[in-house]
Amino acid sequence: MTETTGDTGHNAAAFSPQHDDVFGRIAGRYDVLCDVFSFCLHRRWKRRVAHMIADARWERMLDAAAGTGHIVRRILTRSPGIADARQIIVSDISLPMLAIARCKTEHLTRKLDIRQLDAHNMPSIESGSIDLYSISLGLKICDRTRVLTEAFRVLQPGGEIITLEASTITLPWLHTLYLAYMDFCMPLIGRLAAKGDASAYLYLLKGVHDFPCADDLAQEMREIGFEHVTFERMSLGIVAIHRGRKPARPAHARD
Ligand SMILES: C[S@@+](CC[C@H](N)C(=O)[O-])C[C@H]1O[C@@H](n2cnc3c(N)ncnc32)[C@H](O)[C@@H]1O
């Protein structure tokens, strides 16, 4: 089993998997629900992240809160054979989500390292052993300070982090309109699509409301120690992709 604490300090959605196995319950419908809620926009966002990862230089990557494996599926489509040459750890706290990830990637490769891990605390991943860490749509339902700090720990010096997360539309009136739409539609569609169980979407909704804007998240990443932090907004700022690096070891400290 994974070690978890249920601490919700910087957890925009105030979500604790120990108290509610909501993603386990909706795992079988997760992919369809993503399409419904985002009008399929999530496909573009995740393709962009996957292409960034596939085109980056790394030997061992870890996708945290990977869900049903959307990111890794797109990496494997972009770069068939990539898992033969490099190690890809696909991790999530929910076993039902990981079971679907396994099922949906088996025709592409059987070489993924699929593991149940709590992104807050991954004792089985050695410090400095990962050279690319990614997390998509997971930061808002975790304590992001703890998750980013853990990402910093497992990354090797010079290693890269790529995050995809809900953000703030830069036109305030449009953002207000977007939140009003989400407040109205998300619980409604969530209840219909999830057969009465809208709880996942209530967490996600709270996460969307309370997550920091792209500039503030970049600043939080810098405070944790990441450098060269940049971000790009997608779909007018509904989401943002952040990239950063753990500082490389100074030349005099290298072997
Ligand atoms: C909104 S889904 C995102 C899934 C996938 N990354 C994507 O982009 O579609 C959030 C995922 O985070 C997982 N999760 C929630 N808390 C977690 C934690 N503490 N550690 C690891 N995964 C967690 C959930 O099980 C769920 O699969």
Atom number of ligand 1 nearest to Cα 120: 19
Residue closest via CA to ligand 1's atom 1 equals 137
58 lines ligand 1 (CB under 6 A): no
Where is pLDDT greater, at 30 or 70? Answer: 70
Instruction: Provide the CA 252 distance to its chain's centre, in angstroms.
Output: 35
Compute, in angstroms, the gap from residue 67 CA to the centroid of ligand 1.
5
23 close to ligand 1 (CB < 6 Angstrom)? yes
4 pLDDT more than 50? no
Nearest to 34 by CA among 76, 64, 70: 70
Average pLDDT, the chain: 89
The CATH number of 22-248 is: 3.40.50.150
Q: What number is the average pLDDT over the span 231-253? A: 91
Q: Averaged over 42-59, what is the pLDDT?
A: 97
Domains of the chain by residue range: 22-248
SS3 134: strand
Residue 91 pairs with which residues in a beta bridge?
115
Q: Tell me if 221 sits within 8 A of 131, measured CB to CB.
A: no
Decide: pTM greater than 0.75: yes
Q: Of the residues 1, 120, 142, which should be mutated to test ligand 1's pocket, given the most ligand atoms within 8 Å of the CB?
A: 142
The pLDDT of residue 194 is 64
Question: Which of 80-89, 99-108, 111-120, 246-255 comes out lowest in average pLDDT?
Answer: 246-255
The rounded distance, in Å, linking the Cα atoms of 242 and 65 is 16
Tell me what percent of the residues of the chain surpass a pLDDT of 70: 90
Secondary structure class of 230 (helix, strand, coil): strand
**Which residue bears the tokens 């996460």?**
207
Q: Is 207 in the pocket of ligand 1 (CB under 6 A)?
A: no
Q: Is the pLDDT of residue 153 over 90?
A: yes
Classify 20 as helix, strand or coil.
coil
Pick 5 or 235 by higher pLDDT.
Answer: 235
Separation CA 181–CA 161 (nearest Å): 31
Please spell the DSSP secondary structure of 140-187, one letter per residue: GGSBHHHHHHHHHHHEEEEEEEEEEEE---SSHHHHHHHHHHHHHHHH
Check pocket membership of 93 for ligand 1, CB cut-off 6 A: yes
Q: Does the beta carbon of 17 lie inside 6 Å of ligand 1?
A: yes
Q: Name the nearest CA neighbour of 147 among 159, 157, 160, 133.
A: 133
pLDDT at position 210: 85
**Percent of the chain predicted with pLDDT > 90:** 69
Query: Does the pLDDT of residue 198 top 70, yes or no?
Result: no
What pLDDT is stored for residue 1 in this prediction? 33
First vs last C-alpha separation in the chain: 37
Least confident of 4-8, 48-52, 205-209, 232-236: 4-8
In order of 59, 112, 137, the CA distances from 63 in angstroms are: 13, 11, 11
Banded model confidence at residue 252, pLDDT cuts 50, 70, 90 = low
Among 16-25, 113-122, 168-177, the range scoring the smallest mean pLDDT is 16-25
Q: Is a pLDDT exceeding 70 seen at residue 34?
A: yes
User: What's the one-letter identity of residue 146?
Assistant: R
Q: Which residues pair with 135 in a beta bridge?
A: 64, 163
